[in-house]
Amino acid sequence: MEHARHHSKRDELTTAALRLFAEKGIRGTSVRDIADAAGVTEGALYRHFPGKGPLAQSLFAECARMLYEHLDAAVSEAEDPAAQLCGLVRGFLGFAETRPEAYEYVMARHHESVGELPPDQPLPKDVFVRVIAQGVEAGQFRPLDPHLGAAMMIGLLMRTIFFMQRGLVDLPAEEVRAEVCGAVQRIFLAR
């Protein structure tokens, strides 16, 4: 029973911290804010984490892992690099839609002071780089540096999400996915 309660408080703290970090940023969120939102004392936070920084880093690693796994699963369902591009589009947009706080934290707020992650921690961009490198190697994509291609694709997706969140794109989500998929295929596919 004690272990379950201990785990529950930690979960409440991480849920509250994620919401606040996504909303206000790391710097804009205090330990007191997190404790208040979780309904615990500040001391409870320190029983689970050495401080706000390690909590922010732990949350970033977890959210980045979730997005990486989400993208990797979306790509694994496709047979060739061209279809994998659409898998990345669907996976990225779907993650932002179903896990908005985790998306916001990983893609927009983490730069504030997360610190270094373990060198073996896979990052979401790694899936983009892998798919693009494989497509170039297979001759299906035009010659392009895979990291530059990943930057272009992630940037396109992030701006699409930004416009959708603000109501500037008035299309059903499936239509947006289809349009973006077509656009990235036109950018990357060899002619």
Domain CATH for 139:
1.10.357.10
Question: What is the DSSP secondary-structure string of 119-143?
Answer: TT---HHHHHHHHHHHHHHTTSB-S
pLDDT value of residue 109? 61
- Record the pTM: 0.86
Any domain includes 179 = yes
| Total structural domains within the chain | 1
- pLDDT given at position 22: 86
Tokens of 44: 């409870």
Q: Is residue 23 part of a domain?
A: no
Euclidean distance between CA atoms 17 and 31, whole angstroms: 9
Is residue 35 in a domain? Answer: no
Residue 162: give the domain boundaries.
53-188
Distance in angstroms between the alpha carbons of the first and the last residue of the chain? 62
Q: How far is CA 31 from CA 25, 47, 131, in A?
A: 13, 13, 40
Instruction: Give the whole-angstrom CA distance, residue 18 versus residue 57.
Output: 11
| Local structure of 30: helix, strand or coil | coil
Which stretches of the chain drop beneath a pLDDT of 70? 1-7, 109-116
Residue 12 maps to a domain: no
14-35 pLDDT tens trace: 999 999 988 888 889 999 999 9
**Separation of alpha carbons 177 and 191, rounded Å:** 22
| pLDDT on residue 138 | 94
Q: What is the dihedral of CA 99, 102, 104, 106, to 10 degrees?
A: -140
Decide if 17 is inside a domain.
no
pLDDT at 153: 97
| CA nearest to 63, candidates 22, 7, 12, 112 | 22
Which residue from 60, 13, 54, 56 is spatially nearest to 32, judged by alpha carbons?
13
